[in-house]
Structure 1
Amino acid sequence: MQSNQQRSRIITPLRGERLDVYLFDERIAELERQGPTRYRLSYVQAAVERHGEGALLLSISLPVRPSPYPNSETKPFFEGLLPEETVRGAIARTLGLSPDNGFGLLADLGSDCAGAVVVLPAGAPLTVDESGAIEWLDDDGLAQRIADLPRNPLGVTGGEGRVRLSLAGAQPKLIVTRVPSGRIGQPTGGAPSTHLIKPAQQHYPDLVANELFCLRVARSAGLRAASAQVVEIGGSPCLLVERWDRTIDDDGRIARLHQEDFCQALGILPAAKYEIEGGPTIAGMVELLRRVGSPTLARDLNELVRAVAVNVLLGNSDAHGKNYALLYEPLGVARLAPLYDVVSTNVHPELNRSLAMTIGGIDDPDRVDAAAWRRLAADSGLGAQLPRAVQVFAGRVVESARVVSEAARAEGWHRPVLDQIVELSERRARQFEP
């Protein structure tokens, strides 16, 4: 019999010591394992020559250069592609890996990630067999995948015809492809996914209505936010969320758009996504947007401030650095991505109420007032008019909350928690008044 040490010497090479990194259909870099939990990034010579040193390809934190990036600079972006917390642990167990083995997880899950990044074992072909790349599911099959999420988070499975894909976050969700006809399946051969399905949770049965309400209020108030709807699967409500980093035409052709969250862009590990742990700050995000120099900078700064405000007004204290992102247009032009993962956490007294990012030094959402917005404006160079602009926007959010709540009644998905969120938005809006 072989010892565990002997078996590890046989198993490890199967996953390889190198991974190829693609952006769209171009092989631009390699990841090289440096140890059990360490790896480094090197741009391939062809990418350096084609795009030039300093070019923005993968991440603002990883501009193109001929020399390798060490583990400390590589990991924030690539660990940011992977699931978090218990979801990561469950997937690792399914794949026979340690949760700390980010390199191994990328090797197994990297064929469909957030943005336009694809990570494959070195030498593996990028081509996708479109005819067999999606496992189409009927109603019963879809309900079973939802029921299996505690064992198979994201829908990741082992064996032949396996589903291997990745998305950051800790909330249970199924990653699927949905075509214009309404047909739903799971990608199995590297095909891009298009939607997320988030089921109701046992301890938070109104979570589906909560998130749908918050997203629709944000959209109604004029923000770009993820498009979502309630669908019934297996007799239970689920939230079907359209991925904003994908496009799909009338013929069903799917294309990836590149994006990264602010932790990735700032070179911060997912474990430090909260400001109190050294994560992104509002001032830091503002500075990054200015550094990127987008042609839509003024609009993006305005959108960022309004996104922060709507999170406070609706009671989302979990708006951390991984819940704000940049979306890249052709030629590396960056703009603020649509708002996503907006849930009123403050309606649940047992959850931490402290803001993931302080506003003018305040982390208690019930103490965010006009003075806090003035301090934020001074700290971020956003101008003395900011508190008044936020106050006006708050009035729009309150009105939108009332309208969306009535629409929810008419459409049949209203829950009492929505009345709590409306009342909360009204109270918080009054705080913003001078």
Structure 2
Amino acid sequence: MRHLSIFIEITGEQKYVGSIVGESYNDACFRYSREYLDSVYAAPISISLPLQEEAFSSSVTRNFFEGLLPEGFSRKAVANWIKTDENDYMTILATLGSECLGAIKVIDDDLSGLQDKSTSDYEKLSVEQVKALAEEGASKSTQVLLETHLSLTGATGKVGLYYDDANDDWYLPTGDAPSTHIVKQSHVRLERIVLNEQLCMLTAHNLGIDIPETFIVDTGSGADSDILYATKRYDRVISDKKVIDGLKVPIRLHQEDFAQAMGISASDKYEKEDSGYIRRMFDLVRFYCSDPIMEQNKLWKRICFNFLIGNTDCHIKNYSLVYNDNLKNIKLSPAYDIVSTRIYNMTKEMSFYIGGELDIERLNRASFSSAAATVGIPERLAMKIFDETAEGFEDALSRASAELGEKGFGDADKMQADIFRKGGYANL
């Protein structure tokens, strides 16, 4: 019988929530503990896991907790190295669950003695070590995941690091030490992907879309093999409560992506048939966010922007909700993972249906007008947001390109031209 204990950080303190128990990953079920349910701080750890005494089904359990794990090559590599089936999410989660996205922590009860004795520390990285992350790509980042027991979702090679911006120093967290930034490598098959993402993120910022602090880390000549992409974690907040080796330790804020909140498997993050993903996304915001009207408008604007920029990889795991430190208030997280995929001639299919249409080349203003009724936003308001975003798009992208050009990224202007030509903006 496998038994994983689940903890969550609330106002900076780890609280025991419950456990996942089963003969294997096929029948494992999560149940809240009586102690947690009776506590004054009890709150659901997911919209898909409301407070209840009964155990959740194995499928509901899997959909949420498997959503904490990396995907693609990183997951396969981890599974190979720990000699388990890549479908065995329990074993992989037990290996990587010390530091997940959000505030969840997973402890394997069979190894709890060893895990509890692990030392929380920050190991300073040399420039050469940081450069190795860029050069070796996903294989190196997966090795770091194993060494630090860190679970980061997504298919791109990424690691969690601590950044001391005052001294421009990078540290590798060990044990239970939280990271402050998520750092990704360039994609071996997609040229200038880091520049692409930063250009898109700056454009979003110029249009008033909330984004986390992001920057390019150049460890050499500016070539793809020398650069990394750093994103400041919005689910980590620097605190004075604890210090390790002179570094302030951040507290964890909980988050969950829309797939987890909607109870949808990560394998179904792309909508293959029109089954109402966009409506369900807005229902989440409407029923659970503390300021539903404002958050619905933000979500709508981001969906409009992903169309304009040509991002067909804007699946439901790339939209998230973030909780405050006591889990009582929920809002839309800052926007992240925005890339113009169309400049690489990737799929024309958006990640979910908009106004009954999936093909980005067939989407237009009328499609969004139709979608407004589906999501429950007044059409006049929805189209005002769409039109303002579209009208400001060219200037916002041009300013972002100019800013990157001034920093030495000369390819930004070419990428800007490709986005104008191949993104959804060209359909208007």
Fold agreement, TM-score > 0.5: yes
How many aligned positions are there? Answer: 408
Residue 417 of structure 1 and its aligned partner are, at CA, apart by: 4.3
User: Which residue in 1 is equivalent to 2:212?
Assistant: 226
- SS of alignment partner, residue 201 of structure 2: helix
Structure-1 separation of matches of 2:148 and 2:217: 23
* Matching of residues 143-182 of structure 1 within 5 Å: 143-156=131-144, 162-180=147-165, 181-182=167-168
Residue 424 of structure 1 and its aligned partner are, at CA, apart by: 3.8
Report whether the alignment pairs 1:75 with 2:72. no
Structure 2 counterpart of 1:82, one-letter code: L
User: Which residue in 2 is equivalent to 1:382?
Assistant: 377
Tell me which of 130, 134, 147 is aligned to 1:142.
Answer: 130
Percent identity between the two aligned chains: 28
Tell me which of 18, 21, 44 is aligned to 2:6.
Answer: 21
Residue 228 of structure 1 and its aligned partner are, at CA, apart by: 1.0
Structure 2 counterpart of 1:300, one-letter code: E
Residue 127 of structure 1 and its aligned partner are, at CA, apart by: 6.4
Residue 140 of structure 1 and its aligned partner are, at CA, apart by: 1.2
- Judge which range, 140-149 or 100-109, deviates more: 140-149
Larger relative contact order (CA 8 Å, sep ≥ 6): 2
- SS of alignment partner, residue 332 of structure 1: coil
Structure-1 separation of matches of 2:152 and 2:351: 21
Structure-1 separation of matches of 2:274 and 2:419: 32
Residue 275 of structure 1 and its aligned partner are, at CA, apart by: 1.2
User: Which residue in 2 is equivalent to 1:245?
Assistant: 235
Structure 1 counterpart of 2:347, one-letter code: N
Q: Residues 278 and 112 of structure 1: is their aligned pair in 2 closer, same or farther, counting only changes over 3 Å? A: farther
Structure-2 separation of matches of 1:396 and 1:206: 25
- Judge which range, 305-314 or 91-100, deviates more: 91-100
Structure 1 counterpart of 2:341, one-letter code: T
Residue 35 of structure 1 and its aligned partner are, at CA, apart by: 1.9
Structure 2 counterpart of 1:23, one-letter code: I
User: Which residue in 2 is equivalent to 1:196?
Assistant: 182
Residue 184 of structure 1 and its aligned partner are, at CA, apart by: 1.2
Structure-2 separation of matches of 1:134 and 1:42: 34
- SS of alignment partner, residue 239 of structure 1: strand
- Equivalent residues of 1:272, 1:278 under 8 A apart: no
User: Which residue in 1 is equivalent to 2:96?
Assistant: 109
Q: Residues 391 and 156 of structure 1: is their aligned pair in 2 closer, same or farther, counting only changes over 3 Å? A: same
- SS of alignment partner, residue 100 of structure 2: coil
Structure-1 separation of matches of 2:347 and 2:212: 25
Structure-2 separation of matches of 1:192 and 1:225: 21
Structure 2 counterpart of 1:117, one-letter code: I
Residue 422 of structure 1 and its aligned partner are, at CA, apart by: 4.6
- Where do 5+ consecutive residues of structure 2 fail to align? 241-246
Tell me which of 255, 261, 265 is aligned to 2:257.
Answer: 261
Tell me which of 361, 368, 373 is aligned to 2:363.
Answer: 368
Name the Cα RMSD after superposition: 2.3
Q: Residues 155 and 396 of structure 1: is their aligned pair in 2 closer, same or farther, counting only changes over 3 Å? A: farther
Tell me which of 38, 42, 45 is aligned to 2:34.
Answer: 45
- SS of alignment partner, residue 317 of structure 1: coil
User: Which residue in 1 is equivalent to 2:392?
Assistant: 396
Structure 2 counterpart of 1:198, one-letter code: K
User: Which residue in 2 is equivalent to 1:13?
Assistant: none
Structure with greater strand share of residues:
2
Q: Residues 74 and 152 of structure 1: is their aligned pair in 2 closer, same or farther, counting only changes over 3 Å? A: same
Residue 333 of structure 1 and its aligned partner are, at CA, apart by: 1.1
Q: Residues 417 and 276 of structure 1: is their aligned pair in 2 closer, same or farther, counting only changes over 3 Å? A: farther
Residue 331 of structure 1 and its aligned partner are, at CA, apart by: 4.2
- SS of alignment partner, residue 210 of structure 2: coil
- SS of alignment partner, residue 86 of structure 2: coil
Structure-2 separation of matches of 1:234 and 1:90: 28
Q: Residues 299 and 424 of structure 1: is their aligned pair in 2 closer, same or farther, counting only changes over 3 Å? A: farther
Structure-1 separation of matches of 2:212 and 2:327: 24
- Where do 5+ consecutive residues of structure 1 fail to align? 1-15
Residue 145 of structure 1 and its aligned partner are, at CA, apart by: 3.7
Residue 152 of structure 1 and its aligned partner are, at CA, apart by: 3.9
Structure 2 counterpart of 1:363, one-letter code: L
- Equivalent residues of 1:313, 1:424 under 8 A apart: no
Tell me which of 31, 46, 52 is aligned to 1:59.
Answer: 46
Residue 380 of structure 1 and its aligned partner are, at CA, apart by: 1.6
Residue 430 of structure 1 and its aligned partner are, at CA, apart by: 6.5
User: Which residue in 2 is equivalent to 1:185?
Assistant: 171
Tell me which of 395, 415, 419 is aligned to 1:418.
Answer: 415
Residue 175 of structure 1 and its aligned partner are, at CA, apart by: 2.2
Residue 299 of structure 1 and its aligned partner are, at CA, apart by: 1.1
- Equivalent residues of 2:420, 2:426 under 8 A apart: no
Q: Residues 339 and 273 of structure 1: is their aligned pair in 2 closer, same or farther, counting only changes over 3 Å? A: same
Q: Residues 155 and 242 of structure 1: is their aligned pair in 2 closer, same or farther, counting only changes over 3 Å? A: farther
Report whether the alignment pairs 1:283 with 2:272. no
- Listed one character per residue, the Cα deviations across residues 100-146 of structure 1 (whole Å, up to 9, x for unaligned) are 1100011110000010101112283786877x522221111222344
Q: Residues 278 and 137 of structure 1: is their aligned pair in 2 closer, same or farther, counting only changes over 3 Å? A: farther
Structure-1 separation of matches of 2:182 and 2:15: 26
Structure-1 separation of matches of 2:171 and 2:347: 36
Residue 51 of structure 1 and its aligned partner are, at CA, apart by: 4.8
User: Which residue in 1 is equivalent to 2:322?
Assistant: 327
Structure-2 separation of matches of 1:430 and 1:133: 50
- SS of alignment partner, residue 331 of structure 2: strand
Structure-2 separation of matches of 1:280 and 1:190: 39
